[in-house]
Amino acid sequence: GNSVTQMEGPVTLSEEAFLTINCTYTATGYPSLFWYVQYPGEGLQLLLKATKADDKGSNKGFEATYRKETTSFHLEKGSVQVSDSAVYFCALSLQRGNTGKLIFGQGTTLQVKP
Partner 1 sequence: GAVVSQHPSRVICKSGTSVKIECRSLDFQATTMFWYRQFPKQSLMLMATSNEGSKATYEQGVEKDKFLINHASLTLSTLTVTSAHPEDSSFYICSARSGTGGQPQHFGDGTRLSIL
Footprint on this chain of partner 1 (rule: CB under 8 A): 31-32, 34, 36, 41-46, 49, 51, 89, 93-96, 98-102, 104-107, 109
Cα separation values, 85 from 42, 57, 65, 73, 107, Å = 13, 20, 22, 20, 13
**CB 71 to partner 1: min, Å:** 16
Query: Minimum Å distance from CB 62 to partner 1?
Result: 15
Smallest gap from residue 38 Cβ to partner 1 (A): 9
Dihedral sign, Cα of residue 37, residue 31, residue 105, residue 8: negative
CA distance linking residue 75 with residue 62, whole number of Å: 7
Q: Whose Cβ is closer to partner 1: residue 38's or residue 72's? A: 38
Nearest Cα to 47, choosing from 96, 17, 91? 91
The nearer residue to partner 1, 40 or 114, going by C-beta atoms, is 40
Q: In the bound complex, what is the minimum distance in angstroms from residue 41's beta carbon to partner 1?
A: 8
| Closer residue to partner 1 (CB): 17 or 102 | 102
Q: Return the SS3 of 72.
A: strand
User: How many Å apart are CA 101 and CA 83, to the nearest integer?
Assistant: 29
Q: Which of residues 10 and 78 has its CB atom nearest to partner 1 in the complex?
A: 10
